[in-house]
Amino acid sequence: MDQNLKENRLFRDIVEKEIEEMLICSKAREREYEADEYIFRQEQKPSKLFCLVEGRVMIAKDFSSGKRDVLFMIEEGEIFGEMFLFSDAESYWYDAIAQGKVKLVELPWEFFYHFCKNACKHHQLITRNLLEIQSEKNFFMTKKLHLLSGTTLRERIAIWLLEQKAENGRIALHMKREEMADFLGTTRPSLSRELMKLQQEGIIEAGKNKILIKERAKLEDMCG
Q: How confident is the model at residue 54 (pLDDT cuts 50, 70, 90)?
A: very high
| Nearest-angstrom CA–CA distance, 65 and 59 | 18
User: How confident is the model over 175-224, as pLDDT tens digits?
Assistant: 888 888 888 888 899 999 999 999 999 999 988 889 999 998 998 888 76
Same domain, 101 and 115: yes
Domain that holds residue 82: 3-147
Angstrom distance (rounded) from CA 143 to CA 164: 11
Number of structural domains (the chain) is: 2
pLDDT confidence of residue 52? 94
115 and 162: one domain?
no
* Domain closes at, from 147, 178, 204: 147
Lowest mean pLDDT among 12-16, 96-100, 189-193, 220-224: 220-224
Strands 48-62 and 170-172: unpaired
Q: Residue 188's domain is classified under what CATH number?
A: 1.10.10.10
Region of poorest pLDDT, from 118-127, 145-154, 207-216: 118-127
Distance between CA atoms of residues 58 and 97, nearest Å: 5
Q: CA gyration radius for the chain?
A: 20
Residues 98 and 181 reside in one and the same domain = no
Quote the Cα angle for 134-79-24, to 5°: 110
Are the C-beta atoms of 213 and 204 separated by less than 8 Å?
yes
pLDDT at residue 13, rounded to an integer: 87
Mean pLDDT of 134-163: 77
Quick one: 100 and 186 in the same domain? no
pLDDT higher than 60, residue 101: yes
Q: Are residues 203 and 163 in the same domain?
A: yes
The whole-angstrom separation of Cα 123 and Cα 111 is 9
At residue 162 the predicted structure's pLDDT band, cuts being 50, 70 and 90, is confident
Q: Measured between alpha carbons, how far is residue 90 from residues 86, 93, 97, 195 in Å?
A: 11, 9, 20, 40
- CA separation, residue 159 to residues 16, 38, 146, 170 (Å): 41, 30, 8, 15
Q: For position 3, what pLDDT does the model report?
A: 78
CATH code, domain with 143: 2.60.120.10
